[in-house]
Amino acid sequence: MKLHLIRMSLRREELVVFARNHDLLAPRDDDFGYVLHAWLRAMFGDAAPQPFYFDMRKAVLYGYSEAPGDILAEHAAAFADPMAHRVLEGETLAGKPMPERWTVGRRLELHVRACPVTRKDDEEKDVFLRALDRWEGQGAVEEEKPRRADVYCSWFRRQIDPKVLRLESLSLMGMRSRGALLRRARGSRPSGLRVVERPEAHFRAVATVRKEEGLTEILARGVGRHRAFGFGMIRLLPAK
């Protein structure tokens, strides 16, 4: 698999205009996750970068795509809705191919904004709340009560293939229990939206590459659920 890292700057005001015209805004959409998902699809169709990460402060979006940057730009120029195309800041769409092979022993720093939930019997739930359910079912011994940070870190470790990456260290840099996503409500009008609560956790890890191949697939997939809404992108830095 060939994977490309894509970067682009967005015009905030035009993004809001796009969202309003498509009835995508709601008071609780605090991270613009659904808006950005809809905008990326309007711009790039099935080749839209996913997973992606949006830097709210700088209005810069990063994402992984199998399509190179010039192909994405050509698709947008030919087929994107004009209102969607105005959101892109000038000629800022750029891309680069990611390595297909990595040096065994290479140390990497991973930064991930993730949504630590699991799905069971058609119910999606915060992994910490599931851990509390198990704790209560086992007698609710106070000394054994799970800690949210520990549960989240254990969940993160399970998302990374240990045959490809060995995690040397893992830190939870921040978390909140209110991460709102916009979803279309079943049975509603086409533009009907509802707010769905989601936990949000920010991880920093240092890992060592154990296989030349395999990291590309991990990057392309991302971590956890809701990767189409701004969660789960692994951002890489060289480890110090």
Residues 70 and 148 placed together within one structural domain of the fold: no
Mean predicted confidence (pLDDT) in 171-180: 78
Is pLDDT of 203 > 80?
yes
| High-pLDDT (> 90) share of the chain, % | 80
Asked if 34 and 52 touch (Cβ cutoff 8 Å), the reply is no
5-19, 21-35, 164-178: the lowest-pLDDT one? 21-35
Binned at pLDDT 50, 70 and 90, residue 30 comes out as low
Task: Determine the pLDDT at residue 27.
Answer: 54
CA atoms of 128 and 204, how far apart (whole Å): 19
Residues 11 and 48 placed together within one structural domain of the fold: yes
Q: How far lies 224's CA from each of 115, 155, 163, 227, in Å? A: 6, 9, 18, 7
Mean predicted confidence (pLDDT) in 214-231: 96
Structure tokens at 193: 């939206």
Question: In what helix (H) or strand (E) does residue 31 lie, and over which residues does it extend?
Answer: none
Residues 74 and 122 placed together within one structural domain of the fold: no
Among 53, 71, 97, residue at a domain's last position: 97
On whether residue 124 sits in a domain, the answer given is yes
CA atoms of 7 and 162, how far apart (whole Å): 29
Task: Determine the pLDDT at residue 193.
Answer: 55
Mean predicted confidence (pLDDT) in 49-54: 97
Is pLDDT of 113 > 90?
yes
On whether residue 102 sits in a domain, the answer given is no
Q: What is the CATH number of the domain that holds 150?
A: 3.30.70.1210
On whether residue 173 sits in a domain, the answer given is yes
Binned at pLDDT 50, 70 and 90, residue 28 comes out as low
Q: Which residue has the higher pLDDT, 226 or 179?
A: 226
Residues 87 and 33 placed together within one structural domain of the fold: yes
CA atoms of 234 and 207, how far apart (whole Å): 12
Task: Determine the pLDDT at residue 183.
Answer: 54
Asked if 81 and 42 touch (Cβ cutoff 8 Å), the reply is yes
CA atoms of 101 and 86, how far apart (whole Å): 37
Q: What would the pLDDT profile of 55-84 be if each residue is shown by its tens digit?
A: 999 999 999 999 999 999 999 999 999 999
Task: Determine the pLDDT at residue 26.
Answer: 66
Among 97, 128, 162, residue at a domain's last position: 97
Kindly give, in sequence order, each residue whose CB lies less than 8 Å from that of residue 68, ignoring residues fewer than 6 positions away. Answer: 4, 95, 97
On whether residue 212 sits in a domain, the answer given is yes
Q: How far lies 212's CA from each of 65, 136, 163, 217, in Å? A: 20, 44, 11, 12
Residues 63 and 180 placed together within one structural domain of the fold: no
Nearest Cα residue to 230 out of 95, 48, 1, 84:
48
Domains: count for the chain: 2
Kindly give, in sequence order, each residue whose CB lies less than 8 Å from that of residue 144, ignoring residues fewer than 6 positions away. Answer: 135, 138
Q: What is the dihedral of CA 210, 213, 217, 218, to 10 degrees?
A: 10
Residues 214 and 120 placed together within one structural domain of the fold: yes
Task: Determine the pLDDT at residue 29.
Answer: 57
Residues 33 and 145 placed together within one structural domain of the fold: no
On whether residue 14 sits in a domain, the answer given is yes
The residues pairing with 197 across neighbouring beta strands, listed in sequence order, are 180
Among 38, 67, 97, residue at a domain's last position: 97
On whether residue 92 sits in a domain, the answer given is yes
Residues 147 and 86 placed together within one structural domain of the fold: no
Residues of the domain holding 208: 107-238
Residues 82 and 146 placed together within one structural domain of the fold: no
45-59, 108-122, 177-191: the lowest-pLDDT one? 177-191
CA atoms of 101 and 151, how far apart (whole Å): 32
Q: What is the CATH number of the domain that holds 71?
A: 3.30.70
Average pLDDT, the chain: 90
Residues 114 and 206 placed together within one structural domain of the fold: yes
Residues 114 and 224 placed together within one structural domain of the fold: yes
Residues 161 and 222 placed together within one structural domain of the fold: yes
Structure tokens at 146: 């799970």
Is pLDDT of 190 > 70?
no
Task: Determine the pLDDT at residue 45.
Answer: 96
Kindly give, in sequence order, each residue whose CB lies less than 8 Å from that of residue 140, ignoring residues fewer than 6 positions away. Answer: none
Is pLDDT of 11 > 70?
yes
Task: Determine the pLDDT at residue 188.
Answer: 42
